[in-house]
Copies of this chain bind each other. A is one copy, B any other.
Amino acid sequence: MSAKPTPLSGFPELLPAQRVVEQQVIDILRRTFELHGFAGIETRAVEPLDQLLRKGDTSKEVYVLRRLQEESAEGHAGMGLHFDLTVPFARYVLENAGKLEFPFRRYQIQKVWRGERPQEGRYREFLQADVDVIGRDTLGFHHDVEVTRVMVDALTRLDFLPRFRLQVNNRKLIQGFYLGLGVTDTDEVMRLVDKLDKLPAEKVHAMLVAEAGIDAATADRVLALATIRTDDASFVAKVQEFGVEHPMLAEGLDELSRLVTGVADLAGDRVTVTADLSIARGLDYYTGTVFETRLEGYESMGSICSGGRYDALASDGRSTYPGVGISLGVSRVVVPLLAKTGITADRSVPSAVLVALAEEESRPASERVATALRGRGIACEVAPSPQRFGKQIRYAERRGIPYVWFPRDPADDDSDHQVKDIRSGEQFAADPQAWEPPVEDLRPRITRTTTSPKETPK
């Protein structure tokens, strides 16, 4: 390979210190999901095209695969890269249903691919982290509360990121309200209400009358419902003030208040949970609970964590598999924030210690120090060449390695091992078999070079 290559638009890559941030996000997500009993799985990157294209809207986004030397008879022309983790998970559940225990809790943290036109926060390759609980034939509503709790817990632990606002709603509540108003094409009304985050209310009102064929007074009430936002179950009283009645509305109100109440103890400084009756996710196939999530100060990035309840994710003729899940766009959060906030890691290498090298012949002695440190879980590296110690210290500085270890001089019985904290300049004698750095120096730390997000992120 020669000549400098240029980045490929829509396929973000990270420098080593940036990758430390992404890796810590992944580690925290995985750890949280496992604490809640979710099993990690991975699915293959490819799925049959006919499965990927079942939702017509995404057909334009799919990357199709072929082998360079494809024989015409071979079936791989019918394969594409997955564009989410839900379609592959549904297929995995059907394929392995006889070997899985239900309810099946799984998390999945993998890359997905979409052939969209790249723009900020929209990538052609990105990392997604999904949690779902899937049942066989039935799945209690408390699992809706459960996946919300899991994601709130995870987002709370991502404490180097801005605050999150998790917005929850319930399709039964909206549809029941519309049915109670006498609306028949509830899907069309929901689709138009979904445009409220892009269009002014008057415009949506006009569309409700013109396109959904409802009268102006009904449109008023449809839009009034969508203005309700509460951080507790007080939305119930606000909805009841409309005097609209329908069994599906009552069910939706009950479910949503159970959800908001059920996560109240977890929400707080890092995450707000809001019942937001404008959230409909009109284009997706949810049947009850729906989620969206926004980063405070970065609302223009849109929802970075979405999901909901689907009553029939998959079906194999004998059984149906209802599920509830939520999906975090890891790259959609991490990649723009690395660029916009000063979030980075305080070192670009895992090493907490650089073991110095007095001369090439003493490399085995320096290696023995390194091996002893590694035996106690201390990441370290030996200097690549026996330069002046000042140069070796600068080698550590450039990488953010906090400590330089100077091995004892074997020719001098009075010498001992010395460790220098190159941040403070402090230097002290140390035993390779016993010394340990403070716990917070063991791994790279996430730092922010600026303290607050920029005013107008683009």
Judge if A268 is at the interface, Cβ distance under 8 Å. no
Which B residues are CB-close (under 8 A) to A2?
94, 314-317
Pairwise interchain contact B315-A1, C-beta atoms closer than 8 A: yes
Pairwise interchain contact A349-B39, C-beta atoms closer than 8 A: yes
Pairwise interchain contact A76-B39, C-beta atoms closer than 8 A: no
Q: Smallest CB–CB gap between A314 and chain B, Å?
A: 5
Which B residues are CB-close (under 8 A) to A80?
68
A350 (CB) vs chain B CBs: closest residue? B34
Pairwise interchain contact B3-A317, C-beta atoms closer than 8 A: yes
Within 8 A of B (CB), among A133-185: 140, 142-143, 146, 149, 153
Query: Which among A97-105, A186-194, A272-280 touches the partner chain?
Result: A97-105
Which B residues are CB-close (under 8 A) to A36?
374, 379-381
Which B residues are CB-close (under 8 A) to A399?
101
Which B residues are CB-close (under 8 A) to A42?
13-14, 19
Judge if A384 is at the interface, Cβ distance under 8 Å. yes
Pairwise interchain contact A115-B68, C-beta atoms closer than 8 A: yes
Pairwise interchain contact B35-A111, C-beta atoms closer than 8 A: no
Q: Smallest CB–CB gap between A81 and chain B, Å?
A: 7
Pairwise interchain contact B46-A8, C-beta atoms closer than 8 A: yes
A348 is contacted by which of B8, B39, B62, B69 (Cβ under 8 Å)?
B39
**Most chain B beta carbons < 10 A, residue from A315, A317, A384:** A384
Within 8 A of B (CB), among A39-85: 39-46, 48-49, 51, 53-54, 59-69, 76, 79-81
Within 8 A of B (CB), among A1-36: 1-8, 11-16, 19-20, 23, 34-36
Pairwise interchain contact A54-B1, C-beta atoms closer than 8 A: yes
Pairwise interchain contact B6-A95, C-beta atoms closer than 8 A: yes
Which B residues are CB-close (under 8 A) to A3?
94, 316-317
Q: Smallest CB–CB gap between A131 and chain B, Å?
A: 12
Pairwise interchain contact A35-B350, C-beta atoms closer than 8 A: yes
Pairwise interchain contact B5-A45, C-beta atoms closer than 8 A: no
Please, how many angstroms separate the alpha-carbon atoms of A374 and B156 in the complex?
14
Pairwise interchain contact B35-A379, C-beta atoms closer than 8 A: yes
A51 (CB) vs chain B CBs: closest residue? B1
Q: Smallest CB–CB gap between A123 and chain B, Å?
A: 10
**Most chain B beta carbons < 10 A, residue from A66, A103, A315:** A66
How many chain A residues touch the partner (CB < 8 A)? Answer: 100
Judge if A286 is at the interface, Cβ distance under 8 Å. no
Pairwise interchain contact B351-A37, C-beta atoms closer than 8 A: yes
Chain A binding surface, main DSSP class: mixed
Which B residues are CB-close (under 8 A) to A4?
94-95, 97, 316
**Most chain B beta carbons < 10 A, residue from A8, A314, A395:** A8
Pairwise interchain contact A381-B37, C-beta atoms closer than 8 A: yes
Task: Mark contacts of A111-141 with chain B using CB atoms, 8 A cut-off: 1 yes-contact digit, 0 otherwise.
Answer: 1010100000000010000000000000010
Judge if A377 is at the interface, Cβ distance under 8 Å. yes
Judge if A415 is at the interface, Cβ distance under 8 Å. no
Which B residues are CB-close (under 8 A) to A316?
2-4
A103 (CB) vs chain B CBs: closest residue? B384
Please, how many angstroms separate the alpha-carbon atoms of A385 and B39 in the complex?
20
Pairwise interchain contact A63-B60, C-beta atoms closer than 8 A: no
Q: Smallest CB–CB gap between A452 and chain B, Å?
A: 26
A95 (CB) vs chain B CBs: closest residue? B5
Judge if A363 is at the interface, Cβ distance under 8 Å. yes
Which B residues are CB-close (under 8 A) to A395?
101
Please, how many angstroms separate the alpha-carbon atoms of A61 and B382 in the complex?
39
Please, how many angstroms separate the alpha-carbon atoms of A350 and B377 in the complex?
24
Judge if A91 is at the interface, Cβ distance under 8 Å. yes
Q: Could you list 13 further interchain pairs (A-B, Cβ under 8 angstroms) beyond the known A45-B113, A69-B115, A143-B384?
A: A1-B90, A4-B95, A13-B41, A13-B43, A13-B44, A19-B41, A35-B378, A61-B68, A62-B67, A63-B67, A101-B348, A140-B385, A146-B382
A-B pairs with beta carbons under 8 Å apart, 6 shown = A3-B94, A16-B39, A16-B100, A37-B350, A142-B360, A143-B384
